[in-house]
Amino acid sequence: MERRFQCTACGKCCYGWLPLSLHDAIENAGRFPLAMIWTPHRQGAKSFQVTARQGTTLEISKGKTLAVQIAPTAYIPHTFSCPALAADNGCSIHSHKPSRCRAMPFSPTREEAEQSALLVPKPGWLCDISESAPVVYRDKKIINGDDFERERGQLMDQAAVLKTYADHLIATAPNVVAGLIQAANKKRGGYVVLKFTAVLTRMAHVDVADFCRLQLPVMTEYAEKTAGEKGLADYHEYYAECAATMEKLLARR
């Protein structure tokens, strides 16, 4: 079996959340409003093993364990475009765009053999899957997997840091555990949104003050953009709380 795919630069996938590596998140602290998105996966899910390797696990009862995906994310409302999306639907940071964008439509949060479904464009997307498009996937293997492997490598390289960060919160923050269990019990799945600043203490090479100086104006801008917007109250509250946290951190310096 083989699948064809080619990007048409329609810009339709450049809206809403953008999962990032820790490296790309820090590199884009002056561009994206960042959050940590925790997504639980039940045992038996196809993504369980790869999620456990890249994130952490949580035993919720005897014999029942969740694998938790922990994704640094550009936390942007789904109706908002990426701030790097140009007027012509091109990427204004193409030469140094995040690994997630380079690897699209493939995703390292799935095993390579489970990528086929990602090659079906979402409604409204103008990706070319016609016979004139190049073959990109054959016999459950990615034809040119350099970008996929690069992103998967980044996720595995950061796994130890994220696991240490996550396991500490799981052990000390009962509300996080309760949120994950509640999310796992939702029919269509769910997630928990946490502040990005909490992971910085696990990243010795990152200057927290420098990060906050870059991230604060971004959070302030998005708080202003979402103020009073119908359906975006949770985003507005998150941005405003993060901005307040960063102001406090900077005041101590």
The burial of 65, by beta-carbon neighbours within 10 Å (0-12 exposed, 13-18 middle, 19 or more buried), is given as: middle
How far apart, in Å, are the Cα atoms of 57 and each of 22, 164, 192? 19, 12, 15
Return the ∠ at Cα 21 (arms to 11 and 118), rounded to 5°.
50
Higher pLDDT, 76 or 63: 76
229 confidence band (pLDDT: 50, 70, 90): very high
Residue ranges covered by each domain of the chain? 2-203, 207-253
Q: Which helix (H) or strand (E) holds 42?
A: strand 34-42
Mean pLDDT, all residues of the chain: 95
Helix 233-251 and helix 208-226, axial crossing angle in degrees, nearest 10:
150
pLDDT for residue 48: 94
Q: How far apart are CA 214 and CA 198, in angstroms?
A: 16
Q: For residues 170 and 178, give the distance between their C-alpha atoms in angstroms, rounded to a whole number.
A: 10
pLDDT of residue 63: 81
Residue 46 has pLDDT above 90, yes or no: no
Interacting residues of 217 by C-beta distance below 8 A, sequence separation 6+: 30
Residue-wise pLDDT tens digits, 101-120: 999 999 999 999 999 999 99
Contact criterion met (CB below 8 Å) for 77 and 239: no
Q: In what order do the strands lie in the sheet with 2-4?
A: 2-4, 135-138, 141-142
pLDDT in tens, 115-159: 999 999 999 999 999 999 999 999 999 999 999 999 999 999 999
pTM over 0.75: yes
Q: For residues 147 and 102, is the Cβ–Cβ distance under 8 A?
A: yes
**SS3 of residue 153 by DSSP:** helix
Q: How many CB atoms lie within 10 A of CB 62?
A: 6
Task: Give per-residue pLDDT as tens, 161-183.
Answer: 999 999 999 999 999 999 999 99
